[in-house]
Structures are given as C-alpha cells and as structure tokens.
Structure 1
Amino acid sequence: MYKLTEKSPARGGMLSLKKARYNNPYFQKKGGIVVEDGKEWWRVRSKVQVPLMKPKNLCLYIEEMERISLDLIHKVSRHRDGKGEVTLDFLEELQKWALESVCFVSINQRIGCFDGVVNKDSKEIRDAAFELLDAIFTCETRSKLWKIYRTEPFSKLEKSLEFLTAVCDKVLHETKKKLASRKDYLSEGNLNIMEHLALSGGLTHKDIVTFMMDIIPGGTNTTSDNVAVVLYLLAKNPDAQRKLQEELDRILGDGEGPITPKQLAQLSYARAVLKEANRVMPPMFGPVRLLQEDIQFRGYALKKGWSVLFMNGLLGWEESVFPQADKFIPERWLRSKPLGDIHPYTILPFSHGTRMCIGRRLVEQLIYILMARLFHRFTWSGSTPDMGESTR
C-alpha cells in the first residue's frame, strides 16, 4: 500500500486548522504541509524536509534541549513527597517540556514553561500555543459544528493561530535582518533551521511562517505522550530500566559534562527501548491515505476517493510477527536480533516514504536526551495499574 500510494500520498485530516488558515487572509489559501495534499503539499515539503531531517542541523539544538530536559528534571525533583513520589501531574509537565523544546526549534526562543525564564511575552506565547493545541484537539475529536458556524473551540483556534502567526512573522523578519548583517560570515555549519529556510530559496516568507507554526501542533503532544509511554513501560520492567542505566553509566560517565552528538549516537539500548515502546503501545494504529486513483490490491478493487487506514500498529501485537509479543523486550531490536529478524515495515510510528513525519529526527533527539538525563540520575518506579489505550 505504501508503494501503491507513494506518488501521491494524500491523507487529509486537521480540517479545523485548514479552515482556520483559509479564513485568514494572511495565508492566501495555503494551509501548510500539515493540512495540504498534492502539489501544494509537495511544493513546501520538498523544500523544508532537507534542513529539518539532517542530523548535523539538529545537533545545534542539543545543548538547549539538554537544558530544557534538566529544567524539567529539577522541577520534578523539587516536587516529591517524603517517599520520593512525584506530586505533580507529570504528563502535564511532559507537555510543557515538549512545547518548550519544540518552540525553541520553531521560533528560536524559550517560552518560559519552567522556572527562571518568565516574562510577559513568553507567557503569552506559551498560553497561545497550549490554546492552539487544545482547540485543534477539541475540534478534531469532538463536535464538528465548527464546520457550520464558529463554535467556541474554533474561535479559540482562530485567535491563538492569529497571535502565533504574528509572533512567527516577527521572528522571521528579525532573523532575516540578522542574516543580512552577517552575510560575510555565514557558514552552513552554524545556521539554525529557520536560517536555513530563509536562505534556501523557493519558499515565500509566509511559507516559512506557516511551517514554523506547523511544528508546534505536529510535535508537542505526540512527543510528550511517547515519553509517558516509555516511562510507564520502564517502570513496569525494572530489568530493562537497569540495562538502560548501565548503558548510560558507560557512555555518560559521571554525567557532569554536556551530552555530545557522539554520545547520543552510541545509545543503542535507548533506541531499542523507544522502538519496543512504539511496538507495545503504538502512538497511532497507522497512517491514512486518501486514494487519488483506482488501484488493485490483493484481489480487491479500491476506488479513488476512498480513505485507507493502514492498521500497522496491530502488527506489533501479533505473536507470529513478534515472538513473546505480550512482553516488553527491547533486546529484540538490537543488532544481535536474539528473537529473530524483524521486517522493516512492521513498526512505522513515523509512517514511511515522502509523507513520513518530517519531525522524526527532532522528536527522537528530544526523547533520547530526556531519557539519558532522567535515567542517569533516577530510578523510575510506580504502582499505577496497567494502562490501556483509547484511540480517537
């Protein structure tokens, strides 16, 4: 199915965000890569994917991502009771961590989700970003009356979108001025992602602003939820957590120095933990494709315009595909393959092909940094009941 739809991987979705942008004259009926399909989607996607998916470009953000992770860890450390149990809503703190990290990549500034970086402008950006996320979620998963008239959630979506648009537009103008002032000293090795886009050509100012905002809803809740699942499964499987800590002790040593790109590349067991977490509790059942033509698939006629959901996540629970599927075994993903070979198309949490999640490397880097710092310092445990899944 991936191969049959690779030439035109349309998926639809995020219709509330698309409508809000089409209603706003600023965007000139261009919704950005999160909501568009076809030629308009590829026009932008083909330009933005290179700088965002190059590991060396993301390495520039490691230092600040580590600071943000440490801010989260320090806050959690201060909010524990006499038994060492966290007294905060930890999922809420993870959402703040993800938003702070994603916004730093998107608009090149901290927005003050943690202590020590608080000012009026930062608070307004933070509040607008959370309101945008909440409004999109509400519109997409609950009543669709916003398609007929402006409901309260849709009005909030439009309001927060307008505010963040102005912020991103201003930041990009300032970035361009700085680039112009140091044009004789520019080097590709010290350009952040926004600067790469501003200099790359082929994209309008508004294209870049739209993409900067797309990173926020595209990367925040998915990242925080993914980490929550990792923490839950490692708490339930102390042997796997101990092996992760042994790897971190070996690679990070005393942990006093900053994390380096080389150290991140050596975290093979951490990568296996994330892959296994995505198998056991997948962030989505699978991607959707809106068929752009009639196709024949294994004896079935699938018609143009049909919506096809790849139930990819269910493969992770199949005993015939994954021996001991009911157990959390990160080792199955190591090079030694103790439980046999794994087909490369079985677990695809970031989808595949040209429509693969453009923020994949960004999200993985964020998660590995937090895992490294959190589990190098603490043992994570809990007495929570078994967690299930509800997909909407």
Structure 2
Amino acid sequence: MITDKESSYHYFLKLFKVHGPIVKVKYPGQPVLVLISRPEDAEKILKLTQDNPVRNEMEALKMARYINPFYEKKAGIVTENGEEWWRVRSKVQAPVLKPKNVHNYLKDVDQVTLDFLDRISTLRNSEGEVTVDFLEELNKWSLECICLVALNQRVGCFDPNLSPDSEPTLIIKAAIDFMNAFKECESGLKLWKIFPSKIFRQLQDSMQKLTETCETVVQRMESDMQKRAHDPDCQLNLVEQLLQEPGLSHKDVITFMVDLIPGGTNTTSDNAAVLLYLLAKNPRVQTKVQEELDYVLGNGSGNVTAHQLAQLSYTKAVLKECNRLMPPMFGPMRILQEDILLGRYILQKGWSVLLMNACSGWDERQFPRCNEFLPERWLRHRPFGNIHPCASIPFSHGTRMCVGRRIAEQELYTLMARTLHRYNLEWKHGDMERTFMHVFSPKGPLRFTLTERKRKQWSSPQAAIGLRLLSQ
C-alpha cells in the first residue's frame, strides 16, 4: 500500500535500520542534522523546545518579504522565529482555532463542496470517470474554501466562463504559483541566493498579487466595521476579529491572509487527493464511511452541520489513517537553542532535529499491520492497541502546530461526507505517485471514477445504534 517511498525515504529508513532510532548526519555546507524515528524521543524534543520552538526559516519567503517595503522586514508566522513569531502567533491562534469561528464557515464550505460535485458530475465520461485532472479541480475547491476565510467571499473558481485576465483567474494563478515557487525555492540548490532567479521572481510576483488582493479586502472590511460600530448585534468574521486584536497591525493581518491562501490551497487539495485515493482503493472502508454518512446525514437535504460532523467518528478516523499511511511531509523540525540530553546522546545547540514522523507511522511496533489502511485503529476502543500521541502528528504539535488545522479538517470532512454520500469512488489506474519538494504532492493527472450510489435506509433504530457503537 505504501507507494510514495521516494529514494529519500529509502535512505532514511536504511539509516535507522543500520544505526538505530537516533541518527546524526552531516551534509556539506549544512548544519548537523539529527534524525529521530521513535515517538517517545520526538515527544521529549517537543517538550524541551516548547517554550521557544525554532524551526527552519523558509529563507526564500523571508527574503522576498524583507526586500519588499510593504512588509517592513516582518515575514509572518510561517517563517519567523523567536519574539517576532510569537508576537503574531500568540494573537492569531485563539481566533483561528476557536471552534465557533471555524463552524461559522461550515455552511458556505458545504455549499462550495456541493458546487464542486455538481461541476465534477458534468466532467465525467459515460463510465463515470472524470475526464480532467482531478487535482486541478481540487485546487479550485480548496482555494474557493479558504477564500471564504481569508477574503470573506467566494472568488468564482467554478465559473466555466472565466477569462484568463479575470480577478478569480489571477487569484487562482497567484495562489498556485506562490506555493509552487515556495516549494521549489526551499528545495535544491537555492540559486536565488546568488541572483534573482526566475522561480524567485515568480514567488515575488505571486506574493505581490495576493498582497494587493488582501490589502483591498482589509480596507473594505475596516470601512464596513466603522459603519457597523454601533450595531450591538454585529457579528465579526475571523479577519475582522484579527483587525481588532490589540498588538496586531493591519499589515500583520494582511501577511497572515497572504500566507493562509496558498497554504490552505495546495496542502488541503493534496491531502484531499490522497484521502479520496485511499478510499477508492479500499472499498471496505468506503462502505463503512457511507453507512455512517447515511445514518448521520439521512437524505442529505439541508446543510451539513457542526453537530453532524461531530458524529462522524469513523469518517474522522479515515483522515487520521490517511495521514499516517501517506503523510504530507517527513515531520516537524526543531533547531536547538541549547544543548539537550536525549538518551545517552548530547544534541548540541544549533543542530537541527527532524522528527521523522512518517517513519514512525510505518513502524510495525507502533502500528500493527502498518502497511494496511485500517481506520479502526483510531477508534476509541483502540482494537489494534494504544497509539503514542506523537506517533502521527501530520499537523505538527504544540504552539507550532499548523494554525489552519481546524479549518482544513472541516473542509476535508465536508468533502468526504458529501462525495461519498452521493457517489461510489473507484481508481482504475496504477498506484498514486507523489513527488517531494518541501511537502509531498500527488503526481497528476489524477483520474477518479464517480458513480451514483443508492443510499442505505436504516430498517430499525437498533441497526443504527449498532453502527454508532461500532464507531465509538
């Protein structure tokens, strides 16, 4: 089942097999790198660095921001460390991770997902196979979803008549160009440090377009907030809440919005592609998800609610198992700010420590039958044994955890729920391949087959209760 072990994975796994769970490596011109495979050791590193979790700075993005006068040498929470990172992170994390704020976007996310499926239904051949690159369509879906949060509006990604120079098309292009340039700049030889390479200029140009878009939105929001200032029933959206947060400037908020758009587009669509692929390849799991959805959603009329999502125990377990089996990245990194004793080894200040979470997810000692797609292992009764809390952390951990985690999870649950409630999924091609540039991304084009399904009608309350007990 594990099909994305690129040569780098083989190399790291071999290192652990030969040298043990803690491996020190040194590449020319690079600081010492320590690789850790055991979740117990990862937990210790995370605890010891929790007060000042420093990671690699995303140098290309930092340079692009520092040479742009708008940003005033402040690069945002994606790339900053130390006091400047915490100044912004401490202000944005509570509003962005607050469940109520995330749920406020669920109705619109649900509608975007329904519109996406309506569009996909028209792009199938007579056998139900989608005839365009499914990953490109997922990029449009995830961008449309994240713009509900970042821009408080829909941008029209599904409009079949978009012209190449239309605003939605330019935003779509900027978001995708930004992430592609970011990943390429942070990988390989980094020639942009010597001269402004083509890919670095792409990063700058796409960032500028997103900056201008977000600045226009912020100006409009600030004007609207002044008009509603004396309305006692006024409800602020997420960005408006951030604009009123003491200690955050409107440029801080714009920087956060700019990062949120591309960061919430490609990563979420890549995750969605892997999720749907594993469901299509595992009919048994797909059927169990559909049974749960039929029970919770009924005929699917009306919008999906937060209460309904909360009941989807097995569906949520599927996402966890997906991120274990085909993780989005190697794992979180920390740059040590002091010497640390780990077992019988002293890890020195300045060394980089890579918590190889992907490898622990493929470890038979951590996950029995680790090559199999078994969402049941994440259910409350843990049928395959207890799971260490740091054995699979695809969104990282602690204060450096992905700040958009709950937004992304809500989108993915909604996509899974609506897709499998309406369709049966099939994958009739070879194993999915993924490339690695900073994160793992599926290699397109992707071809899914979607056929309409007949929903299950529960014959008795007892049958439905049996399903709920199974999913606890």
User: Which TM-score tier does this pair reach, normalised by the shorter chain?
Assistant: over 0.9
1:151 alignment partner, one of 183, 197, 200: 197
In 2, the alpha carbon distance for the partners of 1:102 and 1:236 equals 28
Deviations 1:90-123 (A, max 9, x none): 0111112112211221111222211279573222
What's the offset of the Cα at 1:287?
0.4
The answer to whether the aligner puts 1:28 opposite 2:62 as a matched pair is: no
1:110 alignment partner, one of 147, 154, 160: 154
AA aligned opposite 1:179: M
What's the offset of the Cα at 1:125?
2.1
2:212 alignment partner, one of 153, 166, 174: 166
Deviations 1:51-90 (A, max 9, x none): 1000100111111111211222111111111111111100
What's the offset of the Cα at 1:386?
2.5
Residue segments in structure 2 that go unaligned for 5+ positions in a row: 1-44, 438-472
Deviations 1:126-164 (A, max 9, x none): 222222222212222244111111111111211221222
Relative to structure 2, which stretch is displaced further, 228-237 or 132-141? Answer: 132-141
In 2, the alpha carbon distance for the partners of 1:83 and 1:167 equals 41
AA aligned opposite 1:287: P
Task: Tell me which residue corresponds to 1:70.
Answer: 114
In 2, the alpha carbon distance for the partners of 1:323 and 1:83 equals 37
In 1, the alpha carbon distance for the partners of 2:432 and 2:255 equals 36
Contact 1:281 1:389 in 2 (8 A): no
SS of equivalent residue, structure 1 residue 283:
coil
The answer to whether the aligner puts 1:17 opposite 2:94 as a matched pair is: no
SS of equivalent residue, structure 2 residue 264:
helix
Deviations 1:227-248 (A, max 9, x none): 1111111111101000000011
1:192 alignment partner, one of 219, 227, 237: 237
In 2, the alpha carbon distance for the partners of 1:263 and 1:48 equals 27
What's the offset of the Cα at 1:187?
5.0
In 2, the alpha carbon distance for the partners of 1:18 and 1:186 equals 41
SS of equivalent residue, structure 1 residue 380:
strand
Instruction: Please state which structure has a larger fraction of its residues in helix.
Output: 1
5 Å-filtered alignment, 1:203-352, equals: 203-352=248-397
AA aligned opposite 2:185: C
AA aligned opposite 2:370: A
Relative to structure 2, which stretch is displaced further, 268-277 or 176-185? Answer: 176-185
Deviations 1:11-35 (A, max 9, x none): 1242111110001011110000001
AA aligned opposite 2:102: L
Task: Tell me which residue corresponds to 1:130.
Answer: 176
TM-score of the superposed pair, with normalisation by structure 2? 0.80
CA RMSD of aligned residues (A): 1.5
Larger Rg belongs to: 2
In 2, the alpha carbon distance for the partners of 1:143 and 1:152 equals 14
Identity of aligned residues (%): 52
Task: Tell me which residue corresponds to 1:139.
Answer: 185
Contact 1:112 1:126 in 2 (8 A): no
In 2, the alpha carbon distance for the partners of 1:390 and 1:84 equals 27
AA aligned opposite 1:16: A
In 1, the alpha carbon distance for the partners of 2:117 and 2:58 equals 33
Residue segments in structure 1 that go unaligned for 5+ positions in a row: none
Which stretches of structure 1, 4 residues or more, deviate above 6 A after TM superposition? none
SS of equivalent residue, structure 1 residue 296:
strand
Contact 2:175 2:265 in 1 (8 A): no
What's the offset of the Cα at 1:165?
1.1
5 Å-filtered alignment, 1:362-373, equals: 362-373=407-418
Task: Tell me which residue corresponds to 2:4.
Answer: none
In 2, the alpha carbon distance for the partners of 1:68 and 1:133 equals 22
Aligned length: 391
In 2, the alpha carbon distance for the partners of 1:88 and 1:4 equals 48
Task: Tell me which residue corresponds to 2:103.
Answer: 59
1:84 alignment partner, one of 128, 132, 136: 128
SS of equivalent residue, structure 2 residue 319:
helix
Contact 1:110 1:122 in 2 (8 A): no
AA aligned opposite 1:9: P
Structure 1 pair 74–338 and aligned structure 2 pair: CA distance change class (3 A):
same
TM-score of the superposed pair, with normalisation by structure 1? 0.96
Instruction: Please state which structure has a larger fraction of its residues in strand.
Output: 2
In 1, the alpha carbon distance for the partners of 2:101 and 2:233 equals 12
The answer to whether the aligner puts 1:374 opposite 2:390 as a matched pair is: no
Structure 1 pair 187–350 and aligned structure 2 pair: CA distance change class (3 A):
farther
What's the offset of the Cα at 1:175?
0.5
In 2, the alpha carbon distance for the partners of 1:207 and 1:187 equals 27
